[in-house]
Structure 1
Amino acid sequence: MPLTRSLPAALCITLVALLPAGAQEEAASVPQAASASLTLTLESSGDIERKLALYQCDEGPALTVYYINAAPNFLAIVPVDGQNHVFAAALSASGARYVSGPYEWWSKGGDATLRDLTQDEDAAPLAQCTESSNTP
């Protein structure tokens, strides 16, 4: 069962990302990994909902996706290639469609697809996933 949590009128999201290590020549002057964080404050006239969903994908590891619904802002935090990307809701005829740079995360019912929009329309998706009933 997905975790759903309603919060009062404002929500702060803190994202932490590891930056890749520099070249070997720079190893002496640059730490192996540096971390950075970003805090984003969303205002909403109603409740703010945060939902955690676990997806089992056809190929590759399971994906843990966080949905944040703070009207008029609807976000999904999706891991892509080991990094969390913040996706914003986009126009969709059916289901919930989110985009982040070249990536598209589209969910409908319990199914979801991750695509790289820079690839041809006929290209296979990066991941085809089904929401699991067990969440961490």
Structure 2
Amino acid sequence: MRFLSIALIVFLSACGQSSTDGPASAEQSSDASLSFKYQCESGKTIKVSYPTDSTAVMEYDNRRLQMEIAVSGSGARYVGERLEWWTKGSGEGASGTLFRHLADGTSGGAIEQCAQDADTA
């Protein structure tokens, strides 16, 4: 009985821990929007917020883009308005790439190569 009680306490404490896998983690809580700023090689800035675990809102080139999560081999990938936002890693220096999104659902050419700033958006 004592073992069962200890196992239950360990299980419940693990359920209360939050994930730190990055902004697009499947475990992300939808009660708070995460926001990040990326500095691109072109000199432009991309600001992205993640209002839910399956959506992203990007501010780029004087446009506000609504994006939905999409399948990726690694990292987090969001698609919307014929563009793709693909991030890998989390924290300062994490990479983000803006691609064209082709009609067949694949990635087109890269538009921007960016790195996450230390400051959030």
Q: TM-score range by the shorter chain?
A: 0.5 to 0.7
Query: Which of 29, 35, 38 in structure 2 is aligned with 1:55?
Result: 38
Query: Runs of at least 4 residues of structure 1 off by over 4 A?
Result: none
Q: Higher helix proportion, which one?
A: 2
Aligned twin of 1:108: 88
What's the % identity of the aligned pairs?
A: 30
Alignment RMSD, CA only? 2.4
Q: Which runs of 5+ in 1 are unaligned?
A: 1-45
* 8 Å Cα contact 2:47-2:59 kept in structure 1: yes
- Note the 1:1-136 alignment, pairs <5 A: 47-70=30-53, 74-109=54-89, 110-118=94-102, 123=109, 125-136=110-121
Q: Quote the offset at 1:118 in angstroms.
A: 3.9
Residues 93-129 of structure 1: CA deviation (Å, up to 9, x unaligned)? 110000003110000111110011249x673x11111
* 8 Å Cα contact 2:68-2:78 kept in structure 1: yes
What is the aligned length?
87
TM-score by length of 1: 0.56
Q: Which runs of 5+ in 2 are unaligned?
A: 1-28
Amino acid at match of 1:104: E
Q: Higher strand proportion, which one?
A: 1
